[in-house]
Amino acid sequence: MEGIILVDKPRGITSFDVIARIRRFTGVRKVGHSGTLDPMATGLLPVFVGKSVTKQIKHFMGADKGYEGEMTLGVRTDTMDSEGKELECQISNVKTCENEILKLFQKFTGKIMQKPPMFSAKKVNGQRLYKLARKGLVVDVPPKEVEIHRLELLSFKGNIVKFRVLCSKGTYVRSLVSDIGNELGYGAHLSSLRRIYAHPFVISQAITLETIENLTKIGKLDSIMLRVEEFL
Q: What is the DSSP track for 124-164?
A: ETTEEHHHHHHTT----PPPEEEEEEEEEEEEEETTEEEEE
Q: Is 138 a residue whose pLDDT tops 90?
A: no
Q: Which amino acid is at 207?
A: I
Give Cβ neighbours of residue 113 (< 8 Å, ≥ 6 apart): 143, 144, 145
Residue ranges of the chain assigned to CATH 3.30.2350.10? 3-62+199-231, 65-197
- Residue 82 and residue 64 in contact, taking contact as beta carbons nearer than 8 Å: no
Domain 65-197: give its CATH code. Answer: 3.30.2350.10
Give Cβ neighbours of residue 143 (< 8 Å, ≥ 6 apart): 113, 114, 115
Half-sphere exposure of 103 (CA within 13 A, CB side): 7
Residue 102: per-residue pLDDT: 96
Q: pLDDT above 70 covers what percent of the chain?
A: 94
Q: 3-62+199-231 belongs to which CATH class?
A: alpha beta
Residue 133 pLDDT level (bands cut at 50, 70, 90): low
Which parts of 16-143 are beta strand (E)? 31-33, 42-49, 65-73, 75-77, 86-89, 110-114, 123-124, 127-128
pLDDT in tens, 13-71: 999 999 999 999 999 999 999 988 988 999 999 999 999 999 999 999 989 999 999 99
Arithmetic mean of pLDDT over the chain: 92
Q: Is 38 an annotated catalytic residue?
A: yes
Residue 131 pLDDT level (bands cut at 50, 70, 90): confident
Residue 173: per-residue pLDDT: 96
Q: Could you say which of 8, 17, 38, 222 is catalytic?
A: 38
Residue 142: per-residue pLDDT: 82
Residue 169: per-residue pLDDT: 92
- Residue 61 and residue 34 in contact, taking contact as beta carbons nearer than 8 Å: yes
Residue 115 pLDDT level (bands cut at 50, 70, 90): confident
Q: At what angle do helices 209-217 and 15-26 cross, to 10 degrees?
A: 10
How far is CA 176 from each of CA 106, 155, 165, 190, rounded to the nearest angstrom? 13, 17, 10, 9
- Residue 183 and residue 104 in contact, taking contact as beta carbons nearer than 8 Å: yes
